[in-house]
Structure formats: structure tokens, C-alpha cells
Amino acid sequence: MKRIAIFSLLIVALGSGLAFGAMKGSADVVKASASPSAVSSPAGERVSFEIKLDIQERWHLYAHGDTNFIGVDVVPDEGFPLEDFQAEYPPGHEKEFFGDMVFMIEGKEVIKASALVPAEFAKGEHELNLQVTIQACDDKVCLAPAYLPVVVKLTVE
């Protein structure tokens, strides 16, 4: 009897682990990439690039600044070498979600970004690391939030 109980617990634990491993997260349905992936600029000037979001069909993200859910956000990594980082987010479209009016983005969207290359910045190649915070939802469920890494190669002339 004791062996049957232990065997039953083992099957339940194994089944739970497999189900957990099969669950999707937001990073499974949304991709983020820099465009262009490499930019160049003299020191002392602004450099601009875009972050392209590709959201799988049936899923959506909440627009930046949403007060009900986790809105899309771009954050430079700690140690980001440029100054005055700015991002212009897509406004999204208003839609009802579980009784709340929210702004959603779907499909392919673009975040425009720019930052100032410091005047004393060393010439050469540098890596700019950013993270895009997202939480994907469909009409029934929201997936776990994710932080998508985006890398831009900067050449300072």
C-alpha cells in the first residue's frame, strides 16, 4: 500500500512538472529586435534606432503607460553608456478586456528610440543593451511577464 501511494505521488509530481514545462511565457509569443542592428554616430550627437515587436496572432500587449496591466516598456541595462535615452511607443488601440477599457498593441509594432552619445565617448565599437518589458495576453489568459533583450551595435566615429 505504501508503495502504491509513493508511486501515485511520483506520477502526480512528474505530470505536474511536464505540464509546467509546457506552459508558455510572454517571450514565447513576442519577439523584439533592433532595427538597424548596427548604428554609427560621432560623439556628441544623438543616435536613433527602432525596436521592432512581432506579436503572434491572437496575442496582444498593453500599451506603454497602461494603469491596469503591465504595459510595454524599454529600459536600458545598468551601465548603459549613452545619455538622455528616449522612447516613443505605439499608442495602441482602445479595446475592452475583462470589463476594463485598455490600450492594446497587436501584430507588428515599432518603438522609436534615441540617445545622446556623450561628447567624450571613446571612438570605436560599443554594445548598447536594452530590455523590453512585456506581458502577452489573449482574450482568456495573461502569460508570465518577460524581459526581452535587445542589442544595438554602436560605432562611434
Render pLDDT for 105-121 as a digit per residue (tens, 0 to 9): 999 999 999 999 999 99
**Coil, helix or strand at residue 107:** coil
Mean pLDDT over residues 51-59, rounded?
97
Domains and CATH numbers, the chain: 25-156 (2.60.40.1250)
**How many helices, marked H, and strands, marked E, lie in the chain?**
1, 11
CA distances from 142 to 57, 60, 90, 118 (A): 14, 9, 20, 40
What's the mean pLDDT in 55-60? 97
- pLDDT at residue 88 in the model: 98
What percent of the chain lies above the pLDDT cut of 90?
Answer: 76
> How would you classify the pairing of strands 100-105 and 61-62?
antiparallel
pLDDT at 67: 82
Q: What is the pLDDT of residues 63-90, one digit of tens each?
A: 999 888 899 999 999 999 999 999 999 9
pLDDT one-digit tens code per residue, 3-35 = 333 333 333 333 433 344 457 899 999 999 999
Model pTM? 0.83
Please identify which residue in the block is written with the cell numbers 508511486.
7
End-to-end C-alpha distance for the chain, whole angstroms: 76
